[in-house]
Amino acid sequence: MKNIIVDETTKRELVRAAKEAAGNAYAPYSGYKVGAALLCDDGSRYTGCNVENAAYPCGICAERTAAAKAVSEGNRDFRMIAVVGSSAEKCTPCGMCRQVLYEFAPDMTVLCADNSGEYDEVKLSDLLIRGFGASSLK
């Protein structure tokens, strides 16, 4: 699947899966539920939601939940991620999530969606310009 263009249907499926994952979000403090659906080069998919905590910094975003699920199951070849927030505004990954995704796939695509399913398609490298990555340490 690596060099195959991801079609519109797959993108819509990812956004739908992200929205479904947002249903599991634990966000009693912000009230802002987020879902993510990550597609890897071999076609496998991992979803995630934000999980907040009474000790606020212990919370984790939806994108990092999905990324940790993929990596912990042996898959680091991120291709595309859809992110959906519970508002009419399209949800873009926070800075920490951009950095975590960049570690594995600087060239991956991000679908930033709103709660109606509309999305903008952006490159992670445009969200994190001149990002610091594994190659920076060489």
Q: Is 30 in the site for ligand THU (CB under 6 A)?
A: yes
Stretch touching ligand THU by CB under 6 A, among 2-10, 61-69, 73-81, 102-110: 61-69
User: Contact with ligand THU (CB under 6 A): which of 11, 21, 52, 80?
Assistant: 52
For residue 14, the minimal CB distance to ligand THU (Å) is 15
Classify residue 88 by its DSSP letter.
S
Q: Is 27 in the site for ligand THU (CB under 6 A)?
A: yes
Per the DSSP assignment, residues forming a β-bridge with 42 are none
Per-residue buried b or exposed e for 69-108, using 16+ beta carbons within 10 Å of the residue's own CB? bbeeeebeebbbbbbbbbeeebbbbeeebbebbbebbbeb
CA distance 114 to 101: 20
Q: Is 32 in the site for ligand THU (CB under 6 A)?
A: yes
For residue 8, the minimal CB distance to ligand THU (Å) is 23
Nearer to ligand THU, 30 or 116 (CB): 30
**Number of residues in contact with ligand THU, rule: CB under 6 A?**
15
Classify residue 51 by its DSSP letter.
B
Nearer to ligand THU, 34 or 40 (CB): 34
CA distance 14 to 82: 6
CA distance 134 to 66: 20
Stretch touching ligand THU by CB under 6 A, among 57-65, 74-82, 99-107, 118-126: 57-65
